[in-house]
Chain A
Amino acid sequence: MSDQTRKYHQYLNQGELWLQYCLNCKKYIFYPRSHCPVCWQSELEWRKSQGKGRVYSYSIIYAQSMTDHEVPYIYSLVTLEEGVRLATHIVECDPKEVYVDMPVEMAIRKIGEQLMPVFKPAAPV
């Protein structure tokens, strides 16, 4: 596990999602790494995510031979308000209700052995 991934998990273990921010590009990057993939500078600052985003795409997984995780579950790509996209689960959501562009907000849940960020439908404003 890289130093950056270890740091990512340290924040998750505190119940927070933190992202790297490139001080040169003034943009967030994901996944965490040593150098900004845009400018190749290494001045990257960790900043706390607001945990809000939208469903970019999703797939409801019905068959999974690899683990005993309960099926179906909603695998999704979520675009955060910070501008980065990540793989995640949509939870507390009927598979029939999920849609592309659905507003979501982060929760941290245990998947397997690790605490990972997942997303649930955003509370109505």
Chain B
Amino acid sequence: MTKKPALITGISELAPQKNPAGQRTLALLAQAARLAIEDAALQKRDIDGLLVTPPSEDSAFMWPAQVAEYLGLAPAFLNMVELGGASAAGAVARAAMLVERGICENCLCLSGGVWDSQVFNTLQGKMSVMSQAEIDYELPYLPMGFNTGYALIARRHMQLYGTTPEQMAKIAVDQRFNALQNPLALFNQAPLTIEEVLQSPLITDPLHLLEIVRPCSGAAAAVVSRSKSEANTHTAVSVLGWGEACTHNSIVYAPEITISPVKQSARRAFAMAGLKPADIELLSLYDCYPITVIITLEDAGFCAKGEGGCFVADNDLTYRGDFPCNTHGGQLSMGQASFAGGMSHIIEVVRQLRGEAGERQVARNRLAFVNGNGGVMSTESSLILGRAEDE
């Protein structure tokens, strides 16, 4: 790499919360921001860039300025990143560009929101995350939101490649094992078995209840910097490569629903980093459902197309396994704290690369692949992160 890559110098993550009562997105973001700059050993005045994921209960109009005002920031660059679940990874990629171009010294990537089922489980709430085309041509048929979109992908993947319910369930099971060592995870009390997953109610076939992410509230942040503060004792993490791609908004119009834009986003990320999938030691893949992980593994090149199901069955995805993936428990066990769900994958990899993952620390922790996924495998943002000392 010719140019010095941008560094992730600070992180924060609030514990996901089931109960939205009394919570405000701006307050959650403020808390995450404060913890992230403390982690980076920076002062508020050092932050000159602000990238923020979309609001939940607030108006989206002028949202970056609303957040900057609330936090008393006067950034040299501010923007809202809206790529659905890929927003957090997309924010880190954009921050890396800003830092490498010399526009910002320290860019704060803020993600989070309040999930209120009383609001979002209504028709009005469902329509608020739909395009007009989805409202006109899909909503009349009563899909169960994103769940049904991923169910369609899973069903076709099963048909084309012989992927089994047991293989999909195993992802939730391995990730739960990881979550048992994560005090922040919503579901960290008891292990899970494949039988328990498959015996949980079928919601939108072939997806069972325990294969569907639990929305909740929370926030998480990352500081992307040109250099590390002298007072910062953490190992810095380099943003070695990133790539983005989008082939559709609604899954109805995806060119082939079992092939995701990860194919392009990962290829771009690996090309930028000058690395290949075999170099990667640790993965953190957006897991709104197990099928998302299977397809991401295939399309990012960790296994051949169609072999993702067998791959997860044959490999141990736990932190002590041969192929550690979603060592924080993934969002399936962590809970999906709105847009911070996507950030959780980045935060966990930074902890692992720093060697600060405690009981769930992996042994090989130099290079990691992170994937953010938005919509129904619509937008993808892939990141390759590495321990900065090793360059």
By a beta-carbon cutoff of 8 Å, the part of chain A in contact with chain B is 1-2, 5, 30-31, 33, 56-67, 69, 72-73, 75, 77, 85-89, 95, 99-101, 111-112, 114, 116
Contact = CB atoms under 8 A, between A and B. Distances in A.
Given A63-B203, A86-B137, A87-B252, A100 B142 contact: no
A65 B205 CA distance: 16
A33 B253 CA distance: 14
B126 A66 contact: yes
Nearest to B126: A66
Contact of A58 (B138, B142, B155): B155
A17 to B, nearest CB: 12
Interface string B99-127: 00000000000000000000001110010
B123 A66 contact: yes
Interface string B151-162: 111011001100
B137 A31 contact: yes
A65 B121 contact: yes
B365 interface: no
B136 interface: yes
Given A61-B142, A87-B141, 12 more contacts: A1-B136, A58-B155, A59-B204, A60-B204, A60-B205, A62-B203, A67-B142, A75-B142, A75-B152, A89-B141, A116-B140, A116-B141
A59 B136 contact: no
Nearest to A63: B203
B123 A100 contact: no
A62 to B, nearest CB: 5
Given A59-B151, A77-B252, A87 B143 contact: yes
B304 interface: no
Interface pairs A-B: 9 shortest CB-CB: A59-B151, A60-B205, A57-B156, A100-B159, A57-B152, A87-B138, A59-B204, A63-B203, A31-B137
